[in-house]
Amino acid sequence: MPHDMNNSLAQSLLPDSGNRNSEVSNRALLKASTLFASYSRRYVANQVWWLAGNQLCRLKSEYDKAGRPYSIVSGVHLCMKPDRSLIRRRQAGAEAGSILEDEEEAIEDEIAVIND
């Protein structure tokens, strides 16, 4: 039986000559996933992690437990989440005609903690 290389699944698994990082190609991710799935859930051999650790970490980082892709990771979400009380205080300060220096220092301190 001849192989149908025009099949969309087959095309997605062929090595992409333009892809410089073949470690994260669809084929490499599928091979890593298959290797991991071939072991019991209770014990995955160290060899699996040595052979496919990069790909498995990539897969884990892209999907949550329900198999849905992450749109943003929780750590980044917390950094981007606005502080409503700070917004209210700044609006109150802006209405009074000045921005409080203490609030600016607090924001700079928060940014320094996040960057550390």
Which residues fall within 8 angstroms of residue 58, CB to CB, at 6 or more apart? 24, 29
- The domain total for the chain is 2
The answer on pLDDT for 99 being more than 60 is no
1 within a domain of the structure (yes/no): no
**One domain for residues 15 and 58:** yes
Q: Between 44 and 16, where is the model more confident? A: 44
2 within a domain of the structure (yes/no): no
Give the model confidence (pLDDT) of 40-85 as tens digits. 878 888 888 888 888 988 888 877 777 777 766 677 777 777 778 8
The answer on pLDDT for 91 being more than 60 is yes
**One domain for residues 65 and 15:** yes
**One domain for residues 55 and 39:** yes
Instruction: Tell me the pTM.
Output: 0.45
Which structural domain, as residue segments, surrounds residue 21?
8-71
**One domain for residues 104 and 67:** no
d(CA 19, CA 68): 25
The answer on pLDDT for 89 being more than 70 is yes
Exposed / middle / buried, residue 52 (Cβ in 10 Å: 0-12, 13-18, 19+): buried
**One domain for residues 96 and 82:** yes
